[in-house]
């Protein structure tokens, strides 16, 4: 069983190497990518079942026992997030393949796209599974280095500008992360998360707060938490639709996951955290208000992404099992729906030849399929019952209502931000799908992947989008069993003992 | 818990402050050097996290109590490789940016300015839209590509 934990990291990185070798055949590249991601999905599902039945699955790399060696740990939370992330990555790959076929033809292989795509998946898997602070840094670097390449491929002036901002901000946050690791190691003499859990508790309170705040800032930048969010709406909208969908679905959520893991395991608090509550409110409100001001569809979605990071922070800030469970459920829901929305936005852009909402109109009559594909995730994001967004928000609101006066007030902001999301989505709906029909704009820059000609969308692109919509509907349908898993994951996170026991053995918990 | 000596603390303070100061500059080259300096600071800190300098390496020739902690050295080595690779990538991006835009400078987000100007009264819009044109570099042919953008900004802003 423990070898299985290494597969989600090993398979994509091997796949990446193979796709480089197969750079002459587009068909083999596609096949490797799809097979690897499908295999990782199956492995993640098996890990989730195993973690749910028998507790966290641990692999000690190189046979070195923790805390000396590096461990990979799949508990309920990481296995669940790994599963949903890989499923979304697979769907996005299908979409990207479809887009490449319709843009460059069936036979065009790429030396960068497929390898880098799989490397990104490697980084994401490693970030979820690692039980070691430094490996988490390495995972972030693999993931971010791959994302730098994806966001700056086929450069033009605007993409290089936004790519530059993205790379510099990410590098700065990585260096801050490195500083945090150095300080943590100097203070405790270990980088193993389970070992840190015990040793950090022995540190003086001031030092503990300092280290905790440093991790919040580091992962806050990666998660695009207000006021550290400025890079996101600036850089994401300039990438092609599948890349943006992947980034929006996964990268920020990995930041939230790291925050959730470190804040519960290494820096456990008692009761709601005032700092995180304030940050959650700011993130929710600033993101939603920012979205209302936008005209570019992708920028609007990017601001909504920032806003919904606040929802996840709120669950963490409540700081009890219900809150953590709410955050886990919200991450699962949000990974799916945000990726879907960006994919649909890509399809819309292909229909209209523009990203400007004002330049679109009357699309519901011309492309009823697109209208349905947009409406379902839009309502899901806003949290209208009976969608998965409603289930996830209900879990958060319940956590807020039982967490005390302060969290109950912030729960009010959750409702407000949901309403603002709904308003932003209705605004898009009215302008894009209703109103007078407008002629599609011509493609003024054929080399740009972001806005490509009109009405050229191949079948895999629609299939992938439909599949993701189906996944989000399935999440709503399976809300019962799913929230049973996230509730157990939430109480595991708060109890900490299952994780520490699995990594260090029973004596560590008792002693 | 490891404590470090004053000299190293001063070196670290200088590296971090110089790094962050350079990061806040407008010129891409300075930002890049800032990242490099900051990276040196972080790697040095990682080294120092293993204990004071000048201890024996882990080769088995000294007593175990006199060994330097090898883990931070391994971590720093990994971190150096990563920062080195990413600095190279950033350099390539910076060069590409210079080729495409003809200037070594962080540029404003055009769409963001457009959204900001939409909310403002008509009068103030004109002055702001012309802001970037002041620092025009007439020598570069590639720069003409860029100048179209602010013009577009005021155009669509006025149409609203």
The per-residue pLDDT for A126 is: 97
Instruction: Please return the burial class of A242, using the count of CB atoms within 10 Å of its CB with bins 0-12, 13-18 and 19+.
Output: buried
| Distance of residue A352 Cα from the nearest chain B Cα, in angstroms | 19
| pLDDT tens-digit map of B86-121 | 999 999 998 988 888 888 887 777 777 887 787 665
Nearest by CB to B49, from A161, A185, A233: name it: A185
* B97 and B124 co-located in one domain: no
- Say whether B109 and A178 touch across the interface (CB within 8 A): no
Tell me what percent of the residues of chain B surpass a pLDDT of 90: 34
* B27 and B67 co-located in one domain: yes
* B90 and B121 co-located in one domain: no
pLDDT above 70: residue A452: no
| Spatial distance between the Cα atoms of B79 and A381, rounded to a whole number of angstroms | 38
The per-residue pLDDT for A138 is: 96
- Say whether B114 and A299 touch across the interface (CB within 8 A): no
For residue A181, the chain B residues in CB contact (below 8 A) are 46, 75
* B95 and B128 co-located in one domain: no
| Spatial distance between the Cα atoms of A487 and A485, rounded to a whole number of angstroms | 5
* B91 and B42 co-located in one domain: yes
State which residues form the domain around B36: 6-101
Cα torsion for A468, A473, A479, A481, to the nearest 10°? Answer: -60
Domain count of the fold of chain B: 2
Average pLDDT over every residue of B61-71:
83
* Pick from A117, A52, A109: nearest CA to A488: A52
* B44 and B66 co-located in one domain: yes
CA distances from A165 to A227, A238, B90 (A): 16, 12, 11
Q: A143, A155, A182, A199: best mutation site toward chain B, by most B Cβ within 10 Å?
A: A182
For A391-427, letters b (16+ CB in 10 Å) and e give bbbbbbbbbbeebeebbeebbebbeebbebbbebbee
| Spatial distance between the Cα atoms of A374 and B98, rounded to a whole number of angstroms | 39
- Say whether A156 and B100 touch across the interface (CB within 8 A): yes
Q: Which residue has the higher pLDDT, A367 or B134?
A: A367
| Distance of residue B112 Cα from the nearest chain A Cα, in angstroms | 8
The per-residue pLDDT for A162 is: 87
| Spatial distance between the Cα atoms of A134 and A56, rounded to a whole number of angstroms | 20
| pLDDT tens-digit map of A8-57 | 999 999 999 999 999 889 999 999 999 999 999 999 999 999 999 999 99
Least confident of A41-45, A156-160, A243-247: A156-160
| pLDDT tens-digit map of A169-181 | 999 999 999 999 9
3-class SS letters over A309-332: HHHHHHHHHHCCHHHHHHHHHHHH
| Distance of residue B80 Cα from the nearest chain A Cα, in angstroms | 11
pLDDT above 60: residue B150: no
* B134 and B96 co-located in one domain: no
Contact A417, A307 (CB under 8 A): yes
Chain centroid, CA A387 distance in Å: 19
pLDDT above 90: residue A366: no
Average pLDDT over every residue of A325-354:
93
Nearest by CB to A178, from B79, B85, B106: name it: B79
- Say whether B49 and A182 touch across the interface (CB within 8 A): yes
- Say whether B100 and A137 touch across the interface (CB within 8 A): no
Instruction: Name the closest residue on chain A to residue B26, using Cα atoms.
Output: A165
pLDDT above 80: residue B72: yes
Nearest by CB to A163, from B78, B82, B93: name it: B93
- Say whether A161 and B97 touch across the interface (CB within 8 A): yes
| pLDDT tens-digit map of A42-52 | 999 999 999 99
- Say whether B35 and A171 touch across the interface (CB within 8 A): yes
* B42 and B78 co-located in one domain: yes
- Say whether B115 and A165 touch across the interface (CB within 8 A): no
* B90 and B138 co-located in one domain: no
Q: Does residue B60 belong to any structural domain of this protein?
A: yes
* B90 and B127 co-located in one domain: no
| Spatial distance between the Cα atoms of A235 and A254, rounded to a whole number of angstroms | 18
Q: Does residue B107 belong to any structural domain of this protein?
A: no
Residues 6+ apart with CB under 8 A from B76: B43, B46, B47
The per-residue pLDDT for A493 is: 93
Average pLDDT over every residue of A452-465:
80
| pLDDT tens-digit map of A259-293 | 999 999 999 988 888 999 999 999 999 999 999 99
* B34 and B86 co-located in one domain: yes
pLDDT above 70: residue B128: no
- Say whether A178 and B71 touch across the interface (CB within 8 A): no
- Say whether A156 and B118 touch across the interface (CB within 8 A): no
The per-residue pLDDT for A100 is: 87
Least confident of A364-368, A386-390, B149-153: B149-153
Domain boundary among B101, B128, B146: B101
Tell me what percent of the residues of chain A surpass a pLDDT of 90: 76
Domain boundary among B59, B78, B101: B101
Could you tell me the two tokens for A452? Answer: 């490509």
Residues 6+ apart with CB under 8 A from A34: A90, A93, A94, A97
Q: Does residue B106 belong to any structural domain of this protein?
A: no
| pLDDT tens-digit map of A62-108 | 888 888 889 999 999 999 999 999 999 999 999 999 988 888 888 88
Task: Give me the interface pTM, i.e. the ipTM.
Answer: 0.88
| Distance of residue A385 Cα from the nearest chain B Cα, in angstroms | 33
Average pLDDT, chain A: 92
Q: Using alpha carbons only, how large is chain A's radius of gyration in Å?
A: 22
Q: Does residue B109 belong to any structural domain of this protein?
A: no
* B28 and B85 co-located in one domain: yes
Residues 6+ apart with CB under 8 A from A176: A214, A217, A218, A221
Could you tell me the two tokens for A362? Answer: 């009357």
Instruction: Name the closest residue on chain A to residue B78, using Cα atoms.
Output: A138
The per-residue pLDDT for A449 is: 63
């Amino acid at each position: 069983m423990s070898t299985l934990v290494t597969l989600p990291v090993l398979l994509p990185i091997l796949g990446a190497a193979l796709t480089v070798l197969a750079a002459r055949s587009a068909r083999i590249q596609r096949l490797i990518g799809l097979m690897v991601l499908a295999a990782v999905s199956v492995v993640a599902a098996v890990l989730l079942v195993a973690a749910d039945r028998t507790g966290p699955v641990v692999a000690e790399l190189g046979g070195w026992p923790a805390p000396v060696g590096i461990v990979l740990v799949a508990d309920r939370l990481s296995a669940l997030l790994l599963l949903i992330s890989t499923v979304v990555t697979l769907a996005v790959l299908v979409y990207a393949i479809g887009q490449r076929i319709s843009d460059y033809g069936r036979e065009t292989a790429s030396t960068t796209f497929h390898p880098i795509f799989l490397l990104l998946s490697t980084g994401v898997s490693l970030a979820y599974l690692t039980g070691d602070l430094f490996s988490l840094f390495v995972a972030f670097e693999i993931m971010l280095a791959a994302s730098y390449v994806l966001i700056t491929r086929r450069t033009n002036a605007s993409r290089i500008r936004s790519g530059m901002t993205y790379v510099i901000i990410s590098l700065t946050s990585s260096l801050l992360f490195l500083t945090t690791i150095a300080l943590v190691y100097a203070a405790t003499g270990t980088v193993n998360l389970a070992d840190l859990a015990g040793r950090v508790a022995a540190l003086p309170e001031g030092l503990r707060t300092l280290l905790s705040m440093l991790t919040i800032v580091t992962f806050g930048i990666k998660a695009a938490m207000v006021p550290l969010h400025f890079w996101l709406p600036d850089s994401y909208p300039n990438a092609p639709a599948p890349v943006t969908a992947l980034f929006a679905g996964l990268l920020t959520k990995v930041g939230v996951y790291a925050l959730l893991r470190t804040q519960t395991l290494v820096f456990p608090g008692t009761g709601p955290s005032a700092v995180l509550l304030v940050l959650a409110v700011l993130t929710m409100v600033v993101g939603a208000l920012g979205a209302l001001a936008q005209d570019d569809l992708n920028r609007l979605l990017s601001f909504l992404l920032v806003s919904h990071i606040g929802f996840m922070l709120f669950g963490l800030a409540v700081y009890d099992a219900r809150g953590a469970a709410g955050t886990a459920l919200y991450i699962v829901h949000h990974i799916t729906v945000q990726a879907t929305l960006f994919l649909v936005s890509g399809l819309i852009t292909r229909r209209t030849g523009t990203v400007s909402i004002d330049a679109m109109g009357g699309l519901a009559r011309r492309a009823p399929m697109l209208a349905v594909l947009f409406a379902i995730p839009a309502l899901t994001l806003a949290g209208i019952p009976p969608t998965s967004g409603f289930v996830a928000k209900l879990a958060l609101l319940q956590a807020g209502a039982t967490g005390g006066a302060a969290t109950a007030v912030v729960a009010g902001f959750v409702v407000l931000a949901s309403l603002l999301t709904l308003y932003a989505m209705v605004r898009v709906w009215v302008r894009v799908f209703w109103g007078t029909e407008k002629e599609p704009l011509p493609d003024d820059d054929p080399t740009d992947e972001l806005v490509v000609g009109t009405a050229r969308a191949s079948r895999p692109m629609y299939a992938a989008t439909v599949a993701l919509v189906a996944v989000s509907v399935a999440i709503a349908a399976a809300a019962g069993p799913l929230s049973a898993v996230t509730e157990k994951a939430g109480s595991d996170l708060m109890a900490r003992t299952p994780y520490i026991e699995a990594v260090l053995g029973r004596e560590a918990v008792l002693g | 818990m490891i404590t470090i000596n004053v000299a190293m603390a001063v070196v670290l303070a200088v590296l971090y402050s110089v790094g962050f100061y350079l990061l806040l500059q407008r010129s891409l080259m300075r930002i890049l050097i800032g990242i490099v300096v900051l990276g040196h600071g972080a790697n040095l800190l990682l080294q120092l996290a293993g204990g004071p300098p000048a201890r024996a390496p882990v080769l088995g020739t000294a007593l175990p109590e006199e060994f330097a902690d090898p883990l931070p050295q391994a971590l720093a080595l990994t971190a150096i490789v990563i920062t080195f690779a990413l600095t190279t990538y950033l350099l390539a991006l910076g060069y590409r940016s210079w080729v495409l835009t003809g200037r070594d400078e962080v540029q404003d987000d055009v769409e963001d300015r457009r959204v900001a100007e939409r909310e403002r009264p008509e009068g103030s819009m004109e002055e702001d839209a012309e802001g970037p044109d002041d620092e025009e570099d007439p020598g570069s042919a590639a720069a003409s590509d860029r100048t179209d953008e602010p013009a577009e900004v005021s155009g669509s802003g006025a149409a609203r």
